[in-house]
Amino acid sequence: MTRAVTIRIQHADFDVSHEIAALTGSRTDIGAVVSFSGICRGTEGGDATTALTLEHYPGMAEAEIARHADEAMARWPLTGLTIVHRVGRLVPGENIMVVLTASAHRQAAFQAAEFLMDYLKAHAPFWKREETVEGAGWIAAKTDDDDAAARWDKK
């Protein structure tokens, strides 16, 4: 069977169930699909978020995501994966991204999904500008995200 990898960066919303169906199709070698859905939240700390604008470096973002997808495919026995990440202005409750990993067994799918999320959060070239009732500003990188990604470094 083929090992399908889909990576898209887009403005348009997506349907998670449609993405799962596209990944699994009529395949009988998939026993587990793990999904992570990132959703724009309306509160962080004390300020209410009214919108989040995501920007990326076209070409570079896709290449960086593909690099991590290739590593996940090499590290775990995956039958496929899908990563869809939105850009543009999003309001609370809207989808930001989805990561889907498929494997014959759940453990590989769970580990690969967690690996991809940690690396995407820390290293994918996206920039976030948060709007609140108090104003707008760029969101700084967090050391917690770097620490989470570092745990996957090969020893």
pLDDT tens by residue, 116-127: 999 988 888 899
- The answer to the question of residue 120 being in a domain is yes
What's the CATH number where 22 sits? 3.90.1170.40
Lowest-confidence range among 14-18, 112-116, 133-137, 150-154? 150-154
Residue 33 lies in a domain: yes
24-29 average pLDDT score: 91
Residue 55 lies in a domain: yes
Q: Is residue 133 part of a domain?
A: yes
State residue 155's pLDDT score: 45
The two counts, helices (H) then strands (E), for the chain are 4, 9
Residue span of the structural domain in which 111 resides: 4-150
pTM score of the predicted model: 0.90
- In which residue are the tokens 């300020």 written? 47
CA 22 – CA 65 distance, rounded (Å): 19
pLDDT tens digits, 35-51 = 999 999 887 666 688 99
Contacts of 95 (CB under 8 A, 6+ apart): 13, 14, 16, 37, 38, 39, 40, 86
Within-domain flag for 81? yes
Residue 64 located in a structural domain? yes
Q: Is residue 73 part of a domain?
A: yes
Q: Is the pLDDT of residue 90 over 90?
A: yes
| φ and ψ at residue 40, rounded to 5 degrees | -65, 120
Separation CA 93–CA 52 (nearest Å): 11
Domain count, the chain: 1
Q: What is the DSSP letter of 155?
A: -
**Residue 155 within any structural domain of the chain:** no
| pLDDT, tens digit, 9 for 90 and up, residues 61-78 | 999 999 999 999 999 999
